[in-house]
Amino acid sequence: MGTAVEKDNMFSDSDEVLIGLEIHVQLTKLKTKLFCGCATDYRGKEPNTYVCPICLGLPGTLPVVNKKAIDFAIMVGLALECEIPLKTFFYRKNYYYPDMPKNYQISQYNKAGGVPIGLGGHVTIEINKQKKTINLTRIQLEEDPGRLTYLGSITSSDYTLVDYNRAGITLLEIVTEPDLRSPREARLFLQKLRSIIEHLGVADGSLEGSMRCDANISIRGGNRVEVKNISSFKAVQKALQFELIRQRRQKADGVKTVMETRHWDDEKGITISLRTKEEEHDYRYFPEPDLVPIEITPDWIEKIRSQMPELPDARRERFIRDYQIPPYDAGVLTSSKALADFFENCIKLYNHPKIISNWIMSDLLRHLNDLNIEINESTVTPEQFVNMLKYIDTGTISRRSAKKVLWDMIREGKPPEQIIQEDGHQRIGDENVIRQFVDEIFKEYPQAVQDAIKDDKAINFLSGQVMRKTRGTADPKITYQLIKEKIDLLRKKAN
């Protein structure tokens, strides 16, 4: 988030930017694939071991729809306020590619009589303290293809390996209208979408490759460019920023942007032209003859609606109301389910929501952003976080030390106790120890001592030097008192 966000404003150009996204979300909380009973926890497993004749597309096999996948898709549709048609169909999208054993993908289609699981809908984001509605075109169910892997890289490898473990995993394709106006809005939209989906409990967006995004971007009046292969949400903003600058430069140079598909190279941080042919591919869509249309009754929809968990917007309102935290902070805390859970788990252990929220908003998030990780990718637990706060309350560490302790907790993955012991952050409350430091400082800064004799204000400088010497661990009250006593004594002597 942090620094990259600012770059949005590097062009004062008033040209309107149009961005639309196409997101593929794996419904990772399903135990089995979309049309067969194969397990879905394929990540890190031996290739081609999570397969069966159905997901391998062997002749004579028949798909059977996973009912739970329909439940989940309806739930997402309701959360995104889509219209849920009472009848939905699967279509065949025909094309040849080695990751697709059947030579067609079972998908949905909203043209030529096809009806996807959700029509329209929208997501509300907040940008510059203003609410903004991003409209959706549709959401549809489809199966994930397998994965191609290359020895080394795609260009250097002599051959390609195919792993069908992923083939048949349930995907929800979510398509937006071109309502996004900047790379930052795209990023905020994706964050919000992910938070909604995670709150619904249908997917874990932190799993590698579980949320993938393609983007269309153009400057109004110019040609549209599709950017593919954006593998993480973090990369979306970067890829769009690059593409926007490229298109703006072309426009400034009087060059017409070519309508094309470009590939995002995450390592190099650039987009590369893939193909310029841009008519819609003829996938020869037709209704999937092996599956009957799915009738969705109003009762079914209402049953799912009644089971809907709390969504990010409602949770945000509850945070504002119950914990008395500012709306902006509540919005940030609920922008990720993991973060909101972390916050509330901390409150269970330490009932000071405002203190917890302040520390999360300032120090914790800044460090996580610096490391480009999310809370659930760090080792810091609510217990550890709260213990650190309690050490401030008991006077074991100062607030200033606590900031360093937290940084080490995040960076080194150690609990606060260990860091406090190892690095000597323990607050010095022993008068005799502090007195030694005070004596040293008096010797080092004779002029400041003279100033302090004339005016108490100069004591602050001296106590600041003690704090510096003790790396902020000396008790500030005791330090001030000891200096004051010493100065008073010198004043008496002088008179």
**What is the smallest separation between the CB atom of 70 and Zn ion, expressed in angstroms?**
18
Contact code string over 140-179 relative to Mn ion, x by CB under 5 A: ---------------------------------x------
Of 160, 224, 204, nearest to 22 by C-alpha is 224
CA distances from 390 to 8, 286, 382, 400, 428 (A): 40, 63, 12, 14, 17
Of 1, 4, 19, nearest to 213 by C-alpha is 19
Determine the interface stretch with Zn ion among 44-52, 243-251, 339-347, 405-413 (rule: CB under 5 A).
Answer: 44-52
State the binding partner of 36 from Zn ion, Mn ion, none, CB within 5 to 8 A by kind: Zn ion
Token code pair at residue 246? 């490229």
d(CA 341, CA 347): 10
Q: Are 228 and 274 in contact (CB under 8 A)?
A: yes
Question: Which one, 36 or 380, has the nearer CB to Zn ion?
Answer: 36
Q: Which of 36, 78, 225, 452 binds Zn ion (CB under 5 A)?
A: 36
Contact code string over 465-494 relative to Mn ion, x by CB under 5 A: ------------------------------
State the binding partner of 55 from Mn ion, Zn ion, none, CB within 5 to 8 A by kind: Zn ion
DSSP structure class, residue 363: I
Question: Which one, 20 or 222, has the nearer CB to Mn ion?
Answer: 20
Question: Which one, 8 or 173, has the nearer CB to Mn ion?
Answer: 173
**What is the smallest separation between the CB atom of 42 and Zn ion, expressed in angstroms?**
11
Query: Cα torsion for 461, 464, 466, 467, to the nearest 10°?
Result: 180
Determine the interface stretch with Zn ion among 55-63, 211-219, 451-459, 468-476 (rule: CB under 5 A).
Answer: 55-63
Question: Which one, 23 or 38, has the nearer CB to Zn ion?
Answer: 38
For position 30 contacting Zn ion by CB under 5 A, the verdict is no
CA distances from 386 to 351, 389, 418, 494 (A): 10, 5, 15, 50
**What is the smallest separation between the CB atom of 371 and Mn ion, expressed in angstroms?**
33
For position 106 contacting Zn ion by CB under 5 A, the verdict is no
State the binding partner of 173 from Mn ion, Zn ion, none, CB within 5 to 8 A by kind: Mn ion
Q: Nearest residue to Mn ion, using CB?
A: 173
Q: Are 452 and 487 in contact (CB under 8 A)?
A: yes
State the binding partner of 294 from Mn ion, Zn ion, none, CB within 5 to 8 A by kind: none
If DSSP codes are grouped into helix, strand and coil, which group holds residue 8? helix
For position 38 contacting Zn ion by CB under 5 A, the verdict is yes
**Residue given tokens 């409209």 in the structure block:** 135
Residue 66, judged by CB atoms within 10 A of its CB (0-12, 13-18, 19+), counts as: buried
If DSSP codes are grouped into helix, strand and coil, which group holds residue 222? coil
CA distances from 401 to 388, 394, 420 (A): 10, 13, 9
Give the interface with Mn ion as residue ranges (CB under 5 A): 173
Give the interface with Zn ion as residue ranges (CB under 5 A): 36, 38, 52, 54-55
